[in-house]
Amino acid sequence: MNHVIETIKNRRSTRKFLEEPIREDELSAILEAGIYAPSGGNNQTSHLLVFQNQIVLNELKQLVEQEFSKIEIYEGMYKSLQGSISASKKGGYDFSYHAPTLVVIANKKGYGNAMADSVCILENMMIAAESLSVGSCYINQLHWLDENPVIHEFLKQQGLEEDETVCCSLALGYSDMKKQSPLKRTGNRITYIR
């Protein structure tokens, strides 16, 4: 099979990482693959914040736990969000699974393609990471807390601009999990009109 398609099909989310930081050349290649993603109207307004400072990352994790634990769970709430809130209330919650690198992708507030452009970047990075045997996992928690003033202020101190919104983020690092086989896709549908 074509290598790119094989890489896409073999990628799995990594949720247990080694402490060891990823090599600089691998990180650069992954980030470059990300910014080579297409963007609506070729706008290229995404902003990648690459967290590798463990003190800053730990501070962010503590703030995320603190802010999630203030939220009340209600019936019908998105299950994964409920999971983050419950885990935060218990304590010791690490939303990015102790990954040594977290890439936060932000884009301009009010820009209609903010999410689409950001996720194109994220997907490119996940595939590039897989091709280099670097583990990755899509992380939604910072997007859920995008309008939280404590998190927003903290991210601003790290380089987020006032007019930017957090769309998604990606945990990156060497996997500490057994290689998993590709998950069978049973949901997504294809309809041919020929």
Residue ranges that bind ligand FMN, judged by CB under 6 A: 12-13, 15, 80, 137-141, 183
Q: Please measure the distance between the N-terminal and C-terminal CA atoms of the chain and give it in whole angstroms.
A: 26
* Shortest distance, position 8 Cβ to ligand FMN, whole Å: 10
Nearer residue to ligand FMN within complex by CB, 21 or 83: 83
Cα separation, 87 vs 161, in Å, equals 30
Separation in Å, CA 1 to CA 9, 33, 141, 161: 11, 21, 35, 43
**Least distance (Å) between residue 81 CB and ligand FMN:** 9
What is the distance between the alpha carbons of residues 32 and 26, in angstroms, rounded to a whole number? Answer: 10
Residue placing its CB nearer to ligand FMN in the complex, 30 or 139: 139
Q: Which is nearer to ligand FMN, 5 or 55 (CB)?
A: 5
Identity of the residue, 138 or 158, whose beta carbon is nearer to ligand FMN in the bound complex: 138
State which residue, 66 or 138, has the beta carbon closest to ligand FMN: 138
Buried b (16+ CB within 10 A) or exposed e, 135-163: bbbebebbbbbbebeebbebbeeeebeee
8 Å CB contact between 178 and 139: no
The minimum distance between CB 146 and ligand FMN, in angstroms, equals: 13
From the CB of 194, what's the least distance to ligand FMN, in Å?
A: 29
> How far apart are CB 187 and ligand FMN at their closest, in Å?
10
Closest CA to 132 of 49, 32, 36: 32
**CB 119 to ligand FMN: min, Å:** 7
| Closer residue to ligand FMN in complex, CB, 4/183 | 183
Q: Which of 123, 177, 178 is nearest to 4 (CA)?
A: 123
Q: What are phi and psi of 167, to 5 degrees?
A: -95, -40
